[in-house]
Amino acid sequence: MRLGQNTSFYTISVFCLSYATTTLGMRNWVTLTALLVGSAAAAIASPFWGALADRHGYTGIMTGSLVASALLAFPLFMAFDSKSALLIVVTTTVMIAGVNASNDAIQPGYFTAMFGTRIRYSGVSIGREGGTIIGGGLAPLIATALFARAGHWWPVAGWIVLTSVAGIVGARLARPIPAAREVPVGVAPTTAVR
């Protein structure tokens, strides 16, 4: 799940900055403004996404955000190619505050529910940060390599779609532990009430 969300976010926040200024010849204030507005909107939207997930379920919000990421990958680059500052700011804001913030805001509650208290810290950190290393750390490098090879942004958008689909599969396969079945700390698993 984290792979899809991080690939989208770091492609937008790192690769698209370079793409807009270097390839499209745009002034960097456009993309920096888009990131600033998107981040500010994400800070405001995150509590909304968390409350929505608490009411309607984490899996649906996670899956929906990854589907939106896949659907908006190509339009994102089309907006950049338009060189319209307004369109770039709006599209980037939708991607950051609407798509990525909805995913990010629910992860603490969603991911901790997948692990019992005995392994929760390790399970969440390894899973979450492993996806961050691959999806976030490598996303700009992979996007740059794909763009250099093809000479066009479509493989980069395809990479966002592919990782979003992988995230959707992860969200559909993940199963949170029901609280009633969790073994309390200090109680041997064989003596716990099932």
DSSP-derived letter for residue 180 is G
| pLDDT tens digits, 160-179 | 999 999 999 988 988 777 65
Separate counts of helices (H) and strands (E) for the chain: 9, 0
Q: What does pTM read for this prediction? A: 0.85
> Which residues of the chain fall short of a pLDDT of 50?
180, 182-185, 187-194
Domains of the chain: 2-175 (1.20.1250.20)
Which residues are CB-contacts of 86 (< 8 A; sequence separation ≥ 6)? none
At 25-50, the pLDDT tens digits run 999 999 999 999 999 999 999 999 99
Question: Given this model, what pLDDT does residue 117 score?
Answer: 83
Give Cα separations from 30 to 1, 42, 55, 75, 166 (angstroms): 30, 18, 37, 17, 31
Specify the pLDDT at position 178: 66
28: three-class secondary structure by DSSP: helix
* The token pair that represents 194 in the structure block: 């099932």
Instruction: Quote the radius of gyration of the chain (alpha carbons, Å).
Output: 19
